[in-house]
Amino acid sequence: MEPIFERIKPGGEIELPKEIMKSLHLRVGEEVELRVRDKEVLIRTGKSIVDKITGAIEIDPEIGRRIIEDEEIEAQMFED
């Protein structure tokens, strides 16, 4: 992606262009982490993809219990 230049707005605000929002899978209102390193501002997304999809689907508690049991059984098989 080519560099994009933005002007600092009153109050120190910088607008993230739509292309950057899209490439980082960000939505309006999401939290990002800002850091300063060697005179650069780094922007890191606040959530992993797992965090973003958590709660997006509902799993029957019984199915969830079976999944956990299956993973525990599989882990025990590899311990031997």
How many domains is the chain partitioned into structurally? 1
| Domain assignment of residue 49, yes or no | yes
The pLDDT assigned to 80 comes to 54
- pTM of the predicted structure, to 2 decimals: 0.50
CATH code for the domain of 36: 2.10.260
> Do 45 and 30 touch, CB atoms closer than 8 A?
yes
| Domain assignment of residue 2, yes or no | no
The pLDDT assigned to 19 comes to 92
The pLDDT assigned to 23 comes to 87
Range of the domain at 72: 10-79
> Do 6 and 14 touch, CB atoms closer than 8 A?
yes
More confidently predicted of 31 and 71: 31
